[in-house]
């Protein structure tokens, strides 16, 4: 007897293709994740991210809210746009070659346009270059610091605004553009080049990156919203202006 019948409560169709679908999907899923782990751990000779790896693992085990307390306090050596004593601070960890950081840069400019003049919000900029995705971002972060070192806080922001304006993101900015930006904003190009090639600010950038990871940052833009009472809220990604505005309004109402 080749013909079989089944109880109504049993599957009516025992399709071979359907039966193959599940293990195939699971094998593909497993393969992808295993591949991600393998290549991710094997493939990166860059020293800095490797150096932060144990810390990242440690942070992953911590409560996400507690990790925010690892944020380096806002200090006078930070790059701040708006009133440094503003009750609300938004500390952004950013990668100049990330397209979403470029988008969020405009959002934050809009925030400062609305809340900066009244002294209610301060925007603090820190570096979070993702070397594996954007190898050029680390040097660009140093370029921002070199501009700031030469002309102060305003020059830092002018350089940052111009860089975000002209970069096409995803590592497409020609490094030759960096001194051109310096020239564009009116600082001494030879001093700028000297600063950039000396790597004076490499450690500063590395410290920012390390702090971003310690606070729970896993991608960019990564921002920490500090309310007037000191409560910290993480903002992951390029959130719309309306979302940032609502957070600000809530914080102002409850203060």
- Nearest of 142, 105, 110 to residue 125 by alpha carbon: 105
Strand 232-236 and strand 79-82: pairing?
unpaired
Tell me which stretch binds another protein (CB under 8 A): 4-12, 76-84, 139-147, 149-157: 4-12
Within 204-223, the residues that bind another protein by CB under 8 A are 213, 216-222
Report how far residue 82's alpha carbon sits from residue 120's, in angstroms, rounded to the nearest whole number. Answer: 8
Between 84 and 219, CB nearer to another protein:
219
Which of 47, 50, 117, 180 contacts another protein by CB under 8 A? 50
- Contact between 116 and another protein per CB under 8 A: no
- Considering beta carbons, is residue 39 or 152 the nearer one to another protein? 39
Please report how close the Cβ of residue 149 comes to another protein at its closest, in angstroms. Answer: 27
Specify the residue for token string 């004593």: 85
Burial group, residue 104, by CB count within 10 angstroms (0-12, 13-18, 19+): buried
Contact predicate 193/180, CB 8 Å: no
Member of 62, 87, 103, 161 binding another protein (CB under 8 A): 103
> Alpha-carbon distance 218 to 221, whole Å?
9
Binder of another protein out of 74, 91, 98, 173 (CB under 8 A)? 98
Of 69, 154, 188, 249, the residue at the interface with another protein (CB under 8 A) is 249
Instruction: Specify the stretch interacting with another protein by CB under 8 A; choose among 34-42, 79-87, 109-117, 182-190.
Output: 34-42
Write phi, then psi, for 130 (nearest 5 degrees). Answer: -90, 90
Residues numbered 161-200 forming contacts with another protein, rule: CB under 8 A: none
Examine residue 62 and tell whether it contacts another protein (CB under 8 A).
no
| Closer residue to another protein in complex, CB, 74/235 | 235
Residue from the set 80, 111, 130, 143 that interacts with another protein by CB under 8 A: 130
Residue 217: how many CA atoms within 13 Å on its side-chain side?
Answer: 29
Stretch that binds another protein, among 93-101, 116-124, 151-159, 177-185 (CB under 8 A): 93-101
Rounded CA separation 108/86 (Å):
15
**Identified binder of another protein from the candidate list 95, 140, 142, 210, rule CB under 8 A:** 95
Residues in contact with 69: Cβ distance below 8 Å, sequence separation at least 6, in sequence order: 232
CA distance 152 to 206: 20
Among 84, 114, 133, 161, binds another protein (CB under 8 A): 133
Q: Which is nearer to another protein, 166 or 243 (CB)?
A: 243
Q: How far apart are CA 79 and CA 123, in angstroms?
A: 8
CB of 85 to another protein, least distance (A): 21
């Amino acid at each position: 007897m080749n013909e079989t019948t089944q109880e109504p409560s049993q599957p009516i169709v025992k399709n071979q293709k359907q039966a193959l679908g599940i293990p195939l999907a699971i094998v593909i899923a497993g393969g992808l994740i295993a591949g991600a782990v393998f290549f991710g751990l094997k493939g990166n000779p860059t020293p800095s991210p490797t150096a932060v790896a144990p810390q990242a693992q440690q942070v992953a085990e911590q409560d996400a809210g507690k990790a925010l307390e690892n944020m380096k306090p806002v200090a006078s050596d930070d790059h701040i746009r708006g009133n440094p004593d503003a009750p609300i601070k938004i500390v952004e960890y950013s990668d100049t070659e990330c397209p979403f950081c470029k988008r969020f840069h405009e959002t934050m400019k809009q925030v400062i346009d609305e809340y900066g003049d009244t002294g209610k919000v301060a925007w603090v900029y820190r570096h979070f270059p993702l070397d594996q995705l954007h190898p050029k971002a680390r040097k660009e972060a140093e370029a921002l610091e070199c501009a700031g070192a030469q002309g102060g806080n305003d020059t830092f922001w002018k350089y940052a605004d111009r860089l975000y304006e002209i970069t096409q993101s995803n590592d497409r900015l020609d490094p030759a553009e960096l001194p051109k930006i310096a020239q564009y904003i009116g600082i001494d190009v030879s001093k700028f080049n000297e600063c950039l090639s000396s790597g004076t600010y490499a450690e500063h950038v590395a410290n920012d990156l390390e702090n971003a990871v310690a606070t729970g940052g896993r991608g960019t833009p990564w921002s920490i919203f500090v309310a007037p009472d000191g409560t910290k809220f993480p903002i992951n990604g390029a959130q719309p202006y309306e979302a940032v505005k609502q957070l600000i309004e809530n914080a102002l109402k409850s203060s």
